[in-house]
Amino acid sequence: MKPHAPLSQPPPVTPARPQGWRGALPLIALLFTSLACSLTGESGVDKQATADALAEAIVITATARAGGAFDSGANVATAQAVATQSAQQLQAAQTAQAQISAEELQGTMTAFAPILSELPKYGVDPDRGRPGWIHPPVTIQAEGYLQYDYANQFIGVVAEDFVVSADVTWNTQFGSAGCGFVLRSDGNEEAFNQYIVTMTRGGSGRVIFATMANGEIVNAKDIFAFGLDPDFEWQNDTTNRLTVVGRGPIMQIYTNDTLISEFDVNDPPQPPYIPPPPPNPADPNDPVQVAAYEAAKAEYDNIVGQINAQYQRSLAEFEATDVQFDKGFIAMVALNESGTTTCQFNNAWLWLIEE
């Protein structure tokens, strides 16, 4: 994709970032690692085994960090206190937004002029909304196993209905690493409520949309850009534009201005992939072949049963969880599986829809 002409924007800055965001990464990595297996041709059984192993490692790590102690009552009280503080921070940020002077607003509208003509591409009326921000170019690099980083110079801007867009140039060592946005985050470092959308190079180009509720990933959508977006570039050091339109619970995902998915965040998790059963014995009269088949089939039935049981548990948890987040902060993010992931964001902007 040919990058868009640079927008008028302020000079780059290095934003501060709360360390608590890093603690959420293993949960995101669990999602990406389980999905990554399908990108590299592993079977569904291998994929589930990988996810289970990583999940166990996360639990062990969390327990070790906590010193083996767990006080459910204290944790609930802490979570409630932090949630209250997060709500107060969101309200304070919205109040500050409302107090922007007429001069500042006019200056922002002038800088936004080239973007107004793009909004109709996404079904958005430029007369019914206002600028959120235009972000200076920023490069985010995440190094090491299950690491990530994020950036936003204007983290105090709260988005309800919105359009966010950026030209993303990437270099990743694994197909499950990616670049994208954190959407409508409540900033609760103890237990995030937020959406995460990332483009990945796996499968010749796909987009992952994940929902985190109370610090846990409760749903994920695996969306192919390959085959839908003729301009998608999956190779390293190429550029794709990622745009997300959020209106209430409805999300629209665009890559290179092509709509590749539209969905409701309240849609339940997709059924899991079930691998095909082992083939029947070539010679049904050969007792050795029959015994080998029966053993493989018993193992297959056991694993499929585990997969379906886990899906039912996930579905029940999802149905019992509020996954519609109406407002929050937006940031750019780089997620790394291993090695190094570099995400360069250019021409990034946020439009606040008011309909």
Domains of the chain: 20-266+323-353 (2.60.120.560)
Q: Minimal CA–CA distance to 185: which of 318, 24, 49?
A: 24
Rounded CA-CA distance 329/137 in Å is: 19
Q: Cα(271)–Cα(21) distance, rounded to whole angstroms?
A: 29
Which of 183, 144, 189 shows the shortest CA–CA distance to 163?
A: 183
pTM for the model:
0.69
Rounded to 5 degrees, φ, ψ at 100 are -65, 135
Neighbours of 92 (CB within 10 A): 12
- Tens place of pLDDT per residue across the chain (355 aa): 544 444 434 333 333 333 333 333 433 444 443 333 333 333 343 333 333 333 333 333 333 333 333 232 333 343 344 444 444 544 554 454 444 444 454 545 677 788 898 999 999 999 999 888 989 999 998 887 877 788 888 877 889 999 999 999 999 887 778 899 999 988 777 778 899 999 998 888 889 998 988 888 888 888 999 899 999 999 999 999 999 999 999 999 999 999 999 999 999 988 888 889 999 999 999 999 999 999 999 999 999 999 889 889 888 888 888 889 999 999 998 888 778 889 999 999 999 999 7
Sequence letter at residue 93 = A
